[in-house]
Amino acid sequence: MTTIRLEAVSKYFNNTLAVDTIDLILADGTLTVLVGPSGCGKTTLLRMIAGLEEPTTGNIYIGDRLVNDVPTWERNTAMVFQSYALYPHMTVYQNMAFPLEAQKLRKDAIRQRILPVAEALGIAHLLDRKPRQLSGGQMQRVALGRAIVRRPDVFLLDEPLSNLDATLRIETRAELKRLQRDLAVTTVYVTHDQEEALTLADMLVVMRSGRPEQIGTPHEVYQSPRTTFVGRFIGNPPMNMLACHYIPAQRCLELTTCCLPIPPQFMAALAATNPPHSLVLGFRPEALRLHWQQPNTAYVFPATVYVLEPLGRETLITLNIGDERVKAIGAPDTLATAGVQVWLTVEPSALHLFDGESSVALQKTS
Ligand SMILES: Nc1ncnc2c1ncn2[C@@H]1O[C@H](COP(=O)(O)OP(=O)(O)OP(=O)(O)O)[C@@H](O)[C@H]1O
Ligand SMILES: [Mg+2]
């Protein structure tokens, strides 16, 4: 059992609060992704789990063991950093074999471990080369392979695919996910790339300024962002957001260009005493439909097409609603052109509402 448990873990560097009172349980055998913008504390949190930084406050458990005072080499974690730290005088094979020789594994057992992992990571043809004969992306995969063959209790991976080109990154990501599933080693994966986070995670921890802003499955976080920050950070293009006001007398949301009826899922939240007046209306680009004539529905925004960006499979359409910009996804052969007046409709169930002051999502009822 290798559950990782963090209890009120904080880290100060002098006066900088890098990680702020985090409570987190990472289930045995799962892949947890820490995702967030630069400087939000991802690496610091990972290094504390590895034992490379000491928490200022709080406790870290690996399995049932409190590891605050356990040195790195006794935690049985394997960490892959952005910088790969390979031994320059050894071949790729020797680099991967090194931790296994230290474990006193037999030569043929070492070979049996290394070959399938090297195959999966696309480095099997490089086993006789020295690190200086490799590209950055190849070195990164060797470092990853060396961690995987060790079969530690925990993998700690810090942006391990950052040096790969786009195609290789997507391929390696899939292989890595499959390897993690097969080995069922508890894994913490750090990235600032929201797409990588969504594709890999069993559980996603969206971090901001040292704190988890939301913890959930990728589906939960994407479908129900807890704050405007999460709505914008997770999803590409980000969730569209429009400022609006709640007008209780008319039971409607007033935007600069139109009024919308209250979506049914927010009736209860807005019927509470002192509902927020200033709100943010959120909707994903893919939730919008374009119409050339005004459709007969209450959930409609008049808009003007600003620019079209063909992406092959679809067209990204940027539109103006009054002074505000939104993005929609159109067909590859959309008839929209810049400057044209259109109407955008959205299903009320696809609408999100956030408190304009706190940025926190209003409670939904079904
Ligand atoms: N050794 C250190 N000494 C002082 N401040 C540090 C140290 N390490 C990190 N910090 C600060 O702590 C905060 C969190 O840094 P951290 O490296 O954990 O961020 P990150 O989320 O990994 O960012 P990135 O995506 O850029 O790698 C930042 O403000 C950073 O400047
Ligand atoms: Mg980092």
pLDDT tens track for 326-347: 999 999 999 999 999 999 999 9
* Nearest listed ligand to the Cα of residue 36: 1
Q: Could you say which residues of the chain have pLDDT below 70?
A: none
Alpha-carbon separation of residue 329 from 73, 111, 181, 225, 302 (angstroms):
50, 49, 33, 20, 16
* Nearest listed ligand to the Cα of residue 41: 1
Alpha-carbon separation of residue 198 from 6, 182, 189 (angstroms):
23, 19, 12
pLDDT tens track for 288-305: 999 999 999 999 999 999
Residue 40 beta carbon below 6 angstroms from any ligand 1 atom = yes
CA 302 – CA 321 distance, rounded (Å): 6
Residue 192 beta carbon below 6 angstroms from any ligand 1 atom = yes
* Nearest listed ligand to the Cα of residue 193: 1
- pTM for the model stands at 0.92
Where do the domains of the chain lie, and which CATH numbers do they carry?
4-226 (3.40.50.300), 237-355 (2.40.50.140)
Q: Are strands 57-62 and 211-216 parallel, antiparallel or unpaired?
A: unpaired
Residue 11 beta carbon below 6 angstroms from any ligand 1 atom = no
Q: What is the pLDDT of residue 275?
A: 84
CA 356 – CA 360 distance, rounded (Å): 8
Residue 191 beta carbon below 6 angstroms from any ligand 1 atom = no
Ligand 1 centre to CA of 17 (Å) is 9
Q: Shortest CA distance to 213 belongs to which of 332, 14, 354?
A: 354
Phi, psi angle pair for 323, to nearest 5°? -90, 0
User: What secondary structure letter does DSSP report for 361?
Assistant: B
Nearest CA to ligand 1 atom 28: 39
Ligand 1 centre to CA of 40 (Å) is 7
